[in-house]
Structure 1
Amino acid sequence: MKEQGEITQLLIKANNGDLCAYNKIFPVIYTELRHIAHRIRFQFFGIETLNTTAIVHEAYLKIINSETDWTSRAHFYGVAGKAMRQILLNAARRKKTIKRGKEAEHICFDEWEEKINLSDECSEQLIQLNDILLALERKDMRQVKIVECRFFANMSIEETAAVLDISTATVKRGWQVTKSWIYTQMQQNKSA
């Protein structure tokens, strides 16, 4: 893998329209997104049918088509975490819609989206997690960013700290508190 400084420079150059830099960075980005997507497959029960390639392609398209100016490798992968969250949530919602017999209303503009297949239980858990994260966004957006980096982009404590420009101690503390809070919320929703 290329050095982090080199990746940052290539992202900035590609962002500024340098086709040569884009051609050099594409395989690095694709490989890293594939690695993240592969790890995500095994974080949920019942995703043995989840297609890593479908997640990668969907995430890549979402990231590249965004209007974001990449300032660093860390920034890029922070956005990747949010993209992974949105992709999995969309797949979960689609599964819920199909389960309720509304498959005919679903129009898919991207063939890759159709290849993301979640179990019923996983779909429900992802939708519930998103609802909890939306509630958390109203209280503390930084905690949501930590979840996106750590859970959806599978970043280390150090990478998360770099993306959010906070200390590793703050990330560790925030991650522990947020995980506990999310768990409590999910348990309360189960018993309700």
Structure 2
Amino acid sequence: MDADLDALIRRADAADPVAAELLFATLYRELHRIAAAHLRRDGAALSLRTTTLLHEAYLHIVGGDAPAFSERGRFLAYASRAMRRLVIDYARRGRAQKRDRRAEVTLTGDEQPSAEAARTAAELERLDDALEELATLEPALAELVNLHFFSGLTFAEIAALRGVSERTVQRDWRKARLLLARTVLDEA
């Protein structure tokens, strides 16, 4: 099954529109779960809906300059990163609305941004900056954070995707958390 999925991902990367749609349909439940996890963790104060986030991420992946994906784990990590960026952008727009109601651009309607949403946006921006810095230092660790923290995959699932032991993933997780904590504390 994973070999078939990996082949489908490669076909979708080769600009095969039928393969791209089939890939989206095949991974829809998993992508929906990832979107829900993002909103539960990062966007609770936002009025963004799970399905909206999922479909916006899909449009970003299909319509953008997405890199080639050779396997399921890399595709899911990229999709998770795209969703995280969309949540951050949505939160930023909410903050901009709060400052200047004339610049009203939203994905879901005319809801008033809350103080909690503004605080969430600032925290998300700090975390995103830290993750971008981690990605430049240790891309594999940044991908691990995306898969575990943002996508909600377990260490066992990540270990299976990467072909390593669960203990190796746990060790990498501790290292990623330490590097992220150091980066966030340096920014504060």
The TM-score bracket by the shorter chain reads: 0.7 to 0.9
With over 3 angstroms needed to count, the CA separation of the structure-2 counterparts of 1:135 and 1:14, relative to structure 1, is: closer
Q: Describe the shift of the 1:68–1:177 C-alpha distance in structure 2 as closer, same or farther (beyond 3 A).
A: closer
CA distance in 2, matches of 1:76, 1:113: 30
Q: Give runs of ≥4 in structure 1 deviating > 4 Å.
A: 17-20, 105-108, 111-115, 161-167, 183-189
Unaligned runs of 5+ in 1: none
Q: Cα gap change, 1:181/1:26 in structure 2, threshold over 3 Å: closer, same or farther? A: closer
CA separation in 2, counterparts of 1:104 and 1:163? Answer: 47
Question: Aligned residue for 1:86?
Answer: 85
The structural deviation recorded for 1:174 is 2.2
Task: Give TM-score scaled by structure 2 length.
Answer: 0.75
Quick one: which amino acid aligns to residue 157 of structure 1? F
Q: Is the 8 A contact 1:15 1:69 kept in 2?
A: yes
Flag structure 2 segments of 5+ consecutive residues without an equivalent.
Answer: none
Separation of aligned partners in 2, 1:99 and 1:32: 34
2: CA distance, partners of 1:12 / 1:81: 18
- Following superposition of structure 1 onto structure 2, how do residues 12-161 of structure 1 map, counting pairs within 5 Å? 12-18=10-16, 20-44=18-42, 46-47=44-45, 49-65=47-63, 66-101=65-100, 103-105=101-103, 111=107, 119-161=117-159
Contact 2:42 2:87 in 1 (8 A): no
Q: Offset of 1:185 from its aligned partner?
A: 5.7
The 1-side partners of 2:123 and 2:67 are apart by 30
- What is the CA-CA distance between 1:87 and the residue it aligns to? 1.2
Q: Which amino acid aligns with 1:140?
A: E
TM-score by structure 1 length? Answer: 0.73
The two structures, once aligned, show a CA RMSD in angstroms of 3.4
What is the aligned residue count?
A: 184
